With several copies, the nearest count.
Chain A
Amino acid sequence: MENSKTKIVLGVIGADCHAVGNKILNYAFTAAGCEVINLGVLVSQEEFVNAAIETNAKAILVASLYGHGEIDCRGLRDRCQEAGLGDILLYLGGNLVVGKADFTLVKKKFMDMGYDKVYAPGTLPDEVIDDLKNDLSKRGILM
């Protein structure tokens, strides 16, 4: 039987180096009982997928802060499908587009790309932890 803790992959996508939120999310999810595979910043889609496969993670948490989210994030769901990760939970958060924008539209854009949850700038970890617990329990997994 594998390690009892739920594994999640965490990282900041693309050419993005914003590390502070990443470190806090790492800390918060670890404290909440997850095993966090934290890839840090400057993570490619490939690295996300590989890490999830290797560790049998239940969710990938992608952050994009620096504005290039639109270019960096599309296609990740397809890659997951191709890699056999199927409907693995994909969460996305940060400052996803260039500029101050209406979040409803931003959210729709990224949901359409296949992300399960899309979070507004400045979201606090507690909200995400609750959501993850919920989504996992729907899939019969206890966090």
Chain B
Amino acid sequence: MDLKNKKWTTDAFNTTQKEVLNQWPTGAEVDFEEAVKYHKQIPASKQFAKKMVQAKKDGVTLAQPRAGVALIHEHIELLNFLVKEGGADLLPTTIDSYTRQNRYKECQVGIDESLAAGRSLLNGFPAVNHGVKGVRQVVEQVNGPVQARHGTPDARLLAEIMLAGGFTSYEGGGISYNIPYAKDVSLERSIYDWQYVDRLVGIYAEHGVEINREPFGPLTGTLVPPSVSHAVGIIEGILAAEQGVKNITLGYGQCGNLVQDIAAIKSLEVLAEEYLEKCGYKDCVLTTVFHQWMGGFPQDEAQAFGVISWGAAAAALSGATKVIVKTPHEALGIPTKEANAAGIRATKQVLNMLCDQKYAMNKELEDEIAIIKAETRCILDKVFELGHGDYAVGAVRAFEAGVIDVPFAPSKYALNKMLPARDNNGAVRLFAIGNLPFSQDIIDFHKDKIEERARVEGRQASFQMVIDDIYAISKGRMVGRPK
């Protein structure tokens, strides 16, 4: 494995493909030529990329839930329910956690026990076990474009099967599906494996099949500063584009402060275009996704609706192309289909009420955009430097050095020296900068912001403040003030 941000050769790809398709019996079902034909008969209304581009053109925000259960028919029923009773514009297929760890044997236990118990004992849809044929049942019997959503460091076989199965969008990336989801998968490994996925999507593109790709924006979902997730998303965008991906959706997980959230979405697209352009990828179409608050939720459903609706409002006002929707069951367990649909309905009510409103530019928003851009540039330019011009190599070294650092990440490949906390207005800032390569004025900016809050609260900034912020939204607030 010699990691470089360089389009894989046909040979390298083909050799790896043989191994990949051998990882589980259903791999044998994949027939690329036939899959291309299959894709070509999928109607435009079920094509993810087309729907995203149209929404961007129309300036509307689409709503997409998360959802996945163990068995095929239940999964189909679930998705159709979310369209019919929820009004979902885009559909997901959330993959279960065993599949994400490539533990297909345990999936089989889960499937069998789910059959026996009459309820899903898996937390998602085990697509590899169901194989191409199973996946196609979903694509065919579901009324809308479907995307695979998972969290899989090695998602090669899953990609082969789901794309051959007719899925038109695939979430993830070598960083964003490793650092928050794994403990000891090296970044070198996961980036390399995700190049394979991107190359596969690239090959589909070269055969006229447009697949939407979406790096996972929110990372650990818990107080991740925008510049960190932007840097990761843009790097993954660059890596994907190099492998021939043409339709990319970049993501961001709501922090909660409206100005910061709008600034994040506004800066994300501009920065990504700038960097892709600079790297020479000129024909990628970019769209954005806003995730409703991804951290701990309140257990009470009414309060959860408040969080969901506020997320919908921020998504609409930010102008994101789509919003990923939470449910009133979030704090407790995988939602029933009814709870899931309810989350979508609350979201769509707000999206529709706000679809004709813009958030006008003002000084505060300008400043916030400027700071996010400056921070992201600091990170990306250092990554470029560390990689001697190669973003793949640079990313690996950047994580080693803590130049990119994801708070609360389970992976030992994240340095975990940076710590976020909210400022006095609820924006996510840095309490500990760690090794983030920020310029002195940015470092001072964060220090001032955190100190301002500490002063108001009459306490020193400390890890307790970070903990208070982690619990805050689930306890009905945003800034974790002392009692």
Contact = CB atoms under 8 A, between A and B. Distances in A.
Do A and B contact each other directly (Cβ–Cβ < 8 Å)? yes
Interface of A: 12, 14-20, 22-24, 27, 40-42, 66-68, 70-71, 95, 97-101, 121-122, 124
Interface in B118-175: 119-123, 151
A30 to B, nearest CB: 11
B109 A71 contact: yes
Interface in B209-263: 220, 222
A126 to B, nearest CB: 12
A98 B122 contact: yes
Main secondary structure of the interface of B (DSSP, over half): loop
B183 A100 contact: no
Contacts of B471: 124
Contacts of A23: 408
Contact of B123 (A27, A40, A67, A100): A67
Contact of A27 (B336, B409, B463): B463
A90 B333 CA distance: 23
B97 A66 contact: yes
Q: How large is the interface on B (under 10, 10 to 19, 20 to 34, 35 or more residues)?
A: 35 or more
B101 interface: yes
Nearest to B299: A122
Contacts of B119: 98-99
User: Most A CB atoms within 10 A — which of B106, B121, B329, B336?
Assistant: B121
Given A23-B408, A67-B123, A67-B333, A121 B183 contact: no
Given A16-B97, A19-B410, A71-B106, A121 B122 contact: no
B334 A19 contact: no
A24 B410 contact: no
A66 B106 CA distance: 15
A100 B335 contact: yes
A29 B98 CA distance: 30
A67 B66 CA distance: 15
A100 B467 CA distance: 25
Counting from the closest, the 8 A-B pairs by CB-CB distance are: A19-B410, A67-B123, A100-B332, A99-B333, A41-B410, A15-B101, A15-B97, A100-B333
B180 interface: yes
Given A17-B180, A99-B332, 18 more contacts: A15-B98, A17-B182, A17-B410, A42-B182, A67-B334, A68-B98, A68-B110, A71-B106, A98-B119, A98-B120, A98-B333, A98-B334, A99-B119, A99-B329, A100-B332, A100-B336, A101-B333, A122-B331
A31 to B, nearest CB: 9
Contacts of A42: 101, 182-183, 410
B103 interface: yes
B474 interface: yes
B100 interface: yes
B183 A17 contact: yes
B343 to A, nearest CB: 13
Interface in B433-474: 463, 467, 470-471, 474
